[in-house]
Structure formats: C-alpha cells, structure tokens
Amino acid sequence: MRPLFWSLAAVILLAMFARGWTEDEERSLTCDPSYPTVCIPEYPPDLDCGEIPYRDFPVSGPDLHGFDADQDGIGCEFWPPRDTGAILSP
C-alpha cells in the first residue's frame, strides 16, 4: 500500500509542478499556518519580531515563535517597544 501512496503523491506533485504552483499551494509548503495572513517560516528556527517584517498580524493556533506574548491573538503588536513616557524610579 505504501509504494502506491508514494507513487500517487509523486504523480500529483509532478502535475502541480508542470502547471505551476498556486499561491495557496506554495504557501502551504513554506508558511506556518498559525499566522494565516503573513508568510512566516515554520518553527524551527525560532524567530523574534525584530527578525520579521510584519506587525499586528493575527495568530491562530500554536504560536511556537512566541509572537503573541500577551495571547490576545495579535502578533508583534508592540515592536519596537513603544515609549509610554513612564518614569521609572531607581
């Protein structure tokens, strides 16, 4: 059964390659589905907000990169950190 499965998978991949990848097909192979509106590589490697060009994007599913620190469903909200004007005492 396994050889048949792999043979079918190879035929499907060759057919997709021959006609060209759709954007959704390419995205499913390279982008982490936990970040549905941006294309961020799957973990690993571990990425930080300063290493990606996206801000304020939806996070749904496992957030292995840790972009949604406050777990409100929005990634990299406060990057770079905003100056709140608060005065910290020593």
Contacts of 86 (CB under 8 A, 6+ apart): none
d(CA 53, CA 8): 38
Domain membership flag for residue 87: no
pLDDT tens figures, 59-70:
999 999 999 999
Domain membership flag for residue 14: yes
pLDDT tens figures, 8-26:
555 565 555 556 556 665 5
Domain membership flag for residue 50: yes
Q: What's the predicted TM-score (pTM) here?
A: 0.57
Phi/psi-derived region of residue 66, left when phi > 0, alpha when psi is between -120 and 50, beta in every other case: left
**Overall number of domains in the chain:** 2
Residue 39: which domain range?
A: 31-82
